[in-house]
């Protein structure tokens, strides 16, 4: 079952990568990539469906095998996404791009494996929900504001990080809904960070540095979920030098991607 879980998770990563690349291809180069306009583009919708399939397969994989096997397979979406996006834009990814993506993936795998498991009850009060939304909202706004003065690659990274923070908040709410005591507050709050994250991510994709955007999203989402787990759910944080080294790898790989990934435009 462990091998099957790894295969299902890997296929899920492929679907997730394909969906992200398709959505970026539709969003890139648009001055205002609003959701209503993108919803009228069939390829963007296909990308969204592919992402949903990838997420569903990831959930199936978690039911088949241990987290330590499934989560690293999920990181492979970054390595799938770069060649797919490059092919859509009529080019081949450079060896420097793929090497930088590999560094990011290695760092992410390290971070994922070093996060301690928590088997305790998952509970979030209405006040905790407001704290979650407030903290993630302020962080997202600050990142968005910082992006306005950054270079194109930096702007893409900051906007995608903003989306990742909001997706991390969404993931925290989902965990509470699935694993904890159900509360209507959770269900009402769930669409808020999810929709804002989707809007921020399309703005990041519109700039054109897909590798930087996708890597930043892949980093910010799980790190935010881990931080909220510790802050609001009392879950343990990783300790020691290894998490710092893994974080340094992800940062170095993202900087390298920003220097090597070309600015893309629709053909």
Per-residue confidence (pLDDT) for residue 141, from 0 to 100: 95
- CA Rg value for the chain: 18
This prediction's pTM: 0.84
Using CB atoms within 10 Å of the CB of residue 116, give its burial: 0 to 12 exposed, 13 to 18 middle, 19+ buried: exposed
Quick check: 82 and 211 in contact, CB under 8 A? Answer: yes
The string of pLDDT tens digits covering residues 158-192 is: 999 999 999 989 888 887 776 666 677 778 888 88
* Residue 96 domain flag: yes
Residue 66 confidence (pLDDT) above 90: no
* Residue 235 domain flag: yes
* Residue 109 domain flag: yes
- Residue 38: pLDDT band (50, 70, 90) is confident
* Residue 80 domain flag: yes
* Residue 267 domain flag: no
**DSSP-derived secondary structure letter, 198:** H
| Total residue length of the chain | 267
* Residue 35 domain flag: yes
Residue 107 confidence (pLDDT) above 60: yes
Give the residue-averaged pLDDT of 139-157. 92
At what angle are helices 77-88 and 95-114 packed, to 10 degrees?
A: 150
**In this structure, how many other beta carbons lie within 10 angstroms of the beta carbon of residue 46?**
15
Per-residue confidence (pLDDT) for residue 265, from 0 to 100: 56
* Residue 265 domain flag: no
Q: Which domain holds residue 91?
A: 1-259
Residues 6+ apart with CB under 8 A from 242: 110, 114
Residue 31 confidence (pLDDT) above 80: no
Structurally, how many domains does the chain consist of? 1
Residue 57 to residue 17: CA distance in whole angstroms: 13
**In this structure, how many other beta carbons lie within 10 angstroms of the beta carbon of residue 170?**
25
* Residue 170 domain flag: yes
Residues 6+ apart with CB under 8 A from 209: 152, 153, 156, 157, 257, 258, 261, 262, 263, 264
Quick check: 73 and 10 in contact, CB under 8 A? Answer: yes
Quick check: 218 and 75 in contact, CB under 8 A? Answer: yes
């Amino acid at each position: 079952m462990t091998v099957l879980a790894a295969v299902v998770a890997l296929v899920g990563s492929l679907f997730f990568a394909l969906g992200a690349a398709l959505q970026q291809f539709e969003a890139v180069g648009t001055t205002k990539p609003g959701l209503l306009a993108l919803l009228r583009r069939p390829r963007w919708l296909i990308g969204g469906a592919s992402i949903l399939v990838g997420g569903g397969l990831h959930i199936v994989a978690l039911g088949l095998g241990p987290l330590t096997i499934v989560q690293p397979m999920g990181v492979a979406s970054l390595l799938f996404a770069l060649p797919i996006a490059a092919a859509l834009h009529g080019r081949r990814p450079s060896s420097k791009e793929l090497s930088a993506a590999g560094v990011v993936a290695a760092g992410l795998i390290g971070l994922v494996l070093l996060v301690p498991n928590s088997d305790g009850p998952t509970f979030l009060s209405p006040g905790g929900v407001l704290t979650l939304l407030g903290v993630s909202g302020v962080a997202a706004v600050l990142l968005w504001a910082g992006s306005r003065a950054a270079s194109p690659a930096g702007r893409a990274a900051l906007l995608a990080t903003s989306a990742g923070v909001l997706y991390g908040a969404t993931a925290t709410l989902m965990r509470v809904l699935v694993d904890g005591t159900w509360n209507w507050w959770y269900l009402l709050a769930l669409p808020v960070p999810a929709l804002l994250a989707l809007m921020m991510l399309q703005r990041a994709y519109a700039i054109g540095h897909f590798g930087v955007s996708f890597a930043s999203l892949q980093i910010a989402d799980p790190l935010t979920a881990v931080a909220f787990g510790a802050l609001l759910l009392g879950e343990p944080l990783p300790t020691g030098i290894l998490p710092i080294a893994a974080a340094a790898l992800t940062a170095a790989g993202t900087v390298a991607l920003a220097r090597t990934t070309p600015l893309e435009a629709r053909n």
